[in-house]
Structure formats: C-alpha cells, structure tokens
Amino acid sequence: MREITGKHVLIGTVSAFAVIIGVNVFMAVQAVRTFPGLEVKNSYVASQTFDHDKALQEALGWTIEANDEDGKLYIFIRDANGNPVQAAEMGGTLGRATNVVEDQTPEFTFNGEAYVAETGELAEGNWNYRMVATAQDGTPFKQRVIIHVKR
C-alpha cells in the first residue's frame, strides 16, 4: 500500500476542479450558442403597437389547436362558433423552445378542416410553432402554439 502525500492530494484536488470547470465552460458555451434569446428584434418598437394589435387579434375570436401525427403537423383554426377558418396567409416556424438547431418552416395546405404540413417525425418533447397568419380581412395574427410530442 502506497502512502498518500501532499502531492497526491494536490493532484486529486486540481484534477477534480479541472473537470468541474471544464464541464461548466462547455455547458455555458452550448447554452449561449444554441439559444437565440430573442423573440423580437426591438422590444421597444414592438411594444408601441402591442395593445392595438392584441385587440384586433382578439376580435377575430380564433382558437388554435395543434397536433403531430404520422410525420405531419395539423393546425386547427376555429372561429368563435367553432367553425374552421381559412386564413388569407399562413406561415411560421416550428422548433424547440430552447434552441434553433431543429427549426423548420413548414409549408401548409388547408384541407377544409385544418392546415396540414409535412414535418417528418418530431422527436419527443416540447415543440413551439410560432404561427404567423393573416385573416381574410387583413388582420395579422401571431401566436406561439405549444405542441407536446409523446412517442
């Protein structure tokens, strides 16, 4: 059996701290690199019309539902009476809430009941569809739709 000296304790302590610091630096770099952190480019400018835009959007009476099935994303837009709504324009970005690595821009078609887009099999977990649509009367509509994928 070998004797533990001060040199051995120093090497063990320095090694442990080196691993801890190395992992912390790696995680910090990954967090900064993968999270854009921006919802809008200029929050002050966006805030100037927020209340007006919100009132117009709420006046539409739309409710949004989404689900992922067989590699397709379904977005259901319904009016205040529960009837399907066909928007003048429909678009947005589908991705994870915490990074942009898996972001995609689905191309939707309206089937009379819902908007459908090929997305491929989404990995399990939380996804956000940052929906941007325009009503037939020209009213802009924006909403973050949360999709929980379970396999």
pLDDT digits (tens, 9 = 90+) for 44-64: 887 888 899 999 999 999 999
**CATH, residue 112:** 2.60.40.3760
Q: How many CA atoms lie within 13 A of 53 on its CB side?
A: 13
Question: 6: which 2 tokens?
Answer: 């001060």
Residue 41 lies in a domain: no
Residue 57 lies in a domain: yes
- Strands 140-149 and 125-134, by their bridges, are antiparallel
Give residue-wise pLDDT tens across range 113-129. 999 999 999 999 999 99
Contact call for residues 115 and 150 (beta carbons, < 8 A):
no
When comparing pLDDT for 17 and 35, which is higher? Answer: 17
Question: 5: which 2 tokens?
Answer: 């000296």
- Strands 115-118 and 72-78, by their bridges, are antiparallel
| Residue-range definition of the domain harbouring residue 138 | 49-149
Q: Domain count of the chain?
A: 2
